[in-house]
Structure 1
Amino acid sequence: MKKNTVERSQISTPKLPNSPIQFNDIVFYFLLFGFGLGIGITLSFFYLKDGSMDFQLNQLKVFRASVAHPQPPPPPPPTTLPVVVTQPTPPVAAQHGTPSSPTKKMRRKRRNNVKEVFEPPGSKHNMTDRMLFWRASFVPRIREIPVKRIPKVAFMFLTRGKVLLAPLWEKFFRGHEGLYSIYVHSDPSFVETMPKSSVFHDRWIPSKIARWGEMNMVQAERRLLANALLDVSNDRFVLLSESCIPLFNFSTIYDYLINSNKSFVESYDLPSPVGRGRYNTAMAPLINLEQWRKGSQWFQIDRFLAVEIIIDRTYFPVFWRHCKNECYGDEHYIPTLVDMKFPDRNAYKTLTYVDWSKGGPHPNKFRRDEVTEEFLKNLRSSTQCYYNERIVDVCYLFARKFSPNTLEKLLRLAPIVMHF
């Protein structure tokens, strides 16, 4: 009986030595599973985080692009079948960047800095007088010019409006392009109406009101000089009135001026009411009565003297303050300045003829019946003049004052007498 009980108990009792091993395996697998699960969750978290960030950035870019460049609304559906246009295939040469390609054409050309200096600016600009005079005062210190340069004569017209005898001057300038420049200073209210074919077209400079006898007339002359000095090819500067005519053809006048070693400013001491009588004692001691000079406002000067006139900050302010009313600064400022500072550079004569025989504050104005072939020939050669220590046959290159009704006769006589 006992034997059966023992055997039964041995059969029903599990094997105790294997139990600790199975428990350890379970714990190990559990820990391994938990570790793997943790790594998977962590990796999933970072993946989802980065993916959502990129998605948000992409959405933000799309939103900004849509705001900056909104897409147009879709076109309405066509009522007819659309026509398909086939674009021609570009030539092979254009595809491979040959000389016909835009890339070659858009290449910047090499700048010629010296040539840019000699390119004359347009007559129209927005510079103030202060800016203009500063810009025009530039003077090269090296005399040798690095490029081939043809000197020009600057013809500066001081007018009320249009150039009254413009057709005559058109004939005078014809065929001599590149040897002259033209500048016109008129009343600022005047509107230019010259055709594009005219040599006077677009040659009006920015101007201000200038009244005869006042210092703003002198400032107008200086303004003309400053504008003409912007063209570095201008070597001689001629101031002319609206009623002035040339007495010779262009070649004769050009050669005479370019080859002259003097400027032509009339300047003399006149002990009379219209001379010394206009002097203001407030100008002393900078300008004394013995230094006061009178002369014609119509001058022909070289580039050196033109620069000196516009940079003058010593004598011009004195004239501006004290030469008023009956002083007539346009007849005294430049004659006095040149005689005081540059007497050796001046020929002390004018090249513009005027007739004072009838008296009065203004010279005689020639009418149509006075203009004859003999009259013009007398103006050209009736009197011999002393110049450069020798007698010359040419006394005057220009003459004034001619009324507008003389234009027709002047045009008819110019080829015969003046040879142009």
Structure 2
Amino acid sequence: MTRYFGVQNVVPVVKSRLLPCFQESNGLESWIKPPSNLLHKMNDAELFWRASFAPQMKDYPFKRTPKIAFMFLTIGPLPLAPLWERFFKGHEGLYSIYLHTQPSYEANFNQSSVFYQRQIPSQVAEWGRMNMCDAEKRLLANALLDLSNEWFVLLSESCIPLHNFSFVYDYISGSQFSFMSSFDDPGPSGRGRYNDQMAPEVTITNWRKGSQWFEINRKLAVDIVQDTIYYPKFEQFCRPACYVDEHYFQTMLSIRSPHLLANRSVTFVDWSRGGAHPATFGKDDITEQFFKNILEDQACTYNDQPSSPCFLFARKFAPNTLDPLLEQSSKIFSF
């Protein structure tokens, strides 16, 4: 062309270094990177569908450090947040945090807080109703979007840790079982709440009761999020005075994966005072003897062997317990 047209000076073609604003990634990182913004636009159906994705191969083709997802189901503020801040300090990369609040509440943690921007899209959750279990499923589904989350702990704003982080991590990661309380209660607040219209999916012989507060592994979390068999039965036939958060997950998991359950909770709750709700502890309860009773005077099994301590967390603690808890945390909890 140069000889034909007699062009003497040819400008070489320079490849542009400008990249388009959006470039589709075809690498593994786009699949394994956790969401950078928890306030996504997915509705529950979309979220649960996305969270139900589960690899069928046991080994991961990338370096994976298993994390514990701490899921806080709250009405609004976290009055005991400073205690949890102290608990988490220095253990970055081994945990994730998720907050489900009433939808009208906007958390205002500062940027240095472990709770900063950890609020997920939330909806109303009412005690004893199915929307409470929906909130718990929402927490699990958001936590499942991070492939590094291996264990999932449900907590409330009135919960506290009873041990330092290392102890909690080793206890949970070393367990062969998940800590979901699930037992057969023959009384009026157990089998007495069963509705025979739940059969054949749920019969009275596999009806279970247990604490709302649990720790489960990733497989069980996926089982809960993807369930469409038992959910309709509980939604329709377990309404107050059948309190669904005490029965749905407990029954469903005991049917599907009984061999994976320790059939006990790791969250201490005091029902000795009677009533529909457990005891609430105030600042006058915060003594060494009080925690000694919780930590030492208990008997349970851990990996099928007799064990003590049995509890990693406890509730319900009033906001006025924060200062005495901070004062004694290093002495009592070792953090």
Please give the TM-score of this superposition, normalised by the length of structure 2. 0.92
Give the structure 2 partner of residue 115 of structure 1. 29
Q: Distance in 2 between matches of 1:97 and 1:189?
A: 58
Give the structure 2 partner of residue 15 of structure 1. none
Shift of 1:106: 4.5
Q: Distance in 2 between matches of 1:105 and 1:174?
A: 42
Give the structure 2 partner of residue 317 of structure 1. 232
| Alpha carbons of structure 1 residues 115 and 190: separation in structure 2 relative to 1, 3 Å | same
Q: Distance in 2 between matches of 1:110 and 1:327?
A: 49
SS at 1:182 equivalent: strand
Correspondence for 2:48 among 128, 133, 155? 133
Alpha carbons 2:66, 2:94 under 8 Å: kept: yes
Alpha carbons 1:97, 1:103 under 8 Å: kept: no
| Alpha carbons of structure 1 residues 140 and 228: separation in structure 2 relative to 1, 3 Å | same
Alpha carbons 1:184, 1:205 under 8 Å: kept: yes
Bigger shift: residues 207-216 or 388-397: 388-397
Bigger shift: residues 384-393 or 123-132: 384-393
Give the structure 1 partner of residue 79 of structure 2. 164
Bigger shift: residues 157-166 or 377-386: 377-386
Bigger shift: residues 320-329 or 235-244: 320-329
Which aligned runs of 4 or more in structure 1 are off by greater than 3 angstroms?
Answer: 102-112
The residue type equivalent to 1:113 in the other structure is G
The residue type equivalent to 1:252 in the other structure is F
The residue type equivalent to 1:313 in the other structure is T
Correspondence for 2:274 among 359, 366, 379? 359
1:409 aligns with 2:324: yes
In structure 2, the gaps of 5 or more residues are: 1-11
Correspondence for 1:263 among 171, 178, 195? 178
| Alpha carbons of structure 1 residues 277 and 419: separation in structure 2 relative to 1, 3 Å | same
What whole-Å deviation, never above 9, does each CA across 1:293-336 have from its counterpart, x for those lacking one?
10001000000000001111100111011111211000000111
Q: Distance in 1 between matches of 2:58 and 2:182?
A: 29
What whole-Å deviation, never above 9, does each CA across 1:25-50 have from its counterpart, x for those lacking one?
xxxxxxxxxxxxxxxxxxxxxxxxxx
| Alpha carbons of structure 1 residues 109 and 315: separation in structure 2 relative to 1, 3 Å | closer
Give the structure 2 partner of residue 385 of structure 1. 300
Give the structure 2 partner of residue 332 of structure 1. 247
What whole-Å deviation, never above 9, does each CA across 1:222-254 have from its counterpart, x for those lacking one?
111000000000000000011000000001101
Shift of 1:176: 0.7
Identity of aligned residues (%): 52
Give the structure 2 partner of residue 79 of structure 1. none
Q: Distance in 2 between matches of 1:326 and 1:406?
A: 32
Alpha carbons 2:69, 2:96 under 8 Å: kept: yes
Superposition map of 1:8-407 within 5 A: 104=17, 106=19, 111=25, 113-121=27-35, 122-407=37-322
Q: What is the number of equivalent residue pairs in this alignment?
A: 322
User: Is the radius of gyration larger for structure 1 or structure 2?
Assistant: 1
| Alpha carbons of structure 1 residues 352 and 97: separation in structure 2 relative to 1, 3 Å | farther
Higher relative contact order (CA 8 A, sep 6+): 2
SS at 1:227 equivalent: helix
SS at 1:326 equivalent: coil
Q: Distance in 2 between matches of 1:310 and 1:288?
A: 22
The residue type equivalent to 1:380 in the other structure is L
Shift of 1:109: 9.2
The residue type equivalent to 1:151 in the other structure is P
CA RMSD across the alignment: 2.0
| Alpha carbons of structure 1 residues 129 and 378: separation in structure 2 relative to 1, 3 Å | same
Shift of 1:377: 2.8
Alpha carbons 2:175, 2:302 under 8 Å: kept: no
| Alpha carbons of structure 1 residues 285 and 106: separation in structure 2 relative to 1, 3 Å | closer
In structure 1, the gaps of 5 or more residues are: 1-95
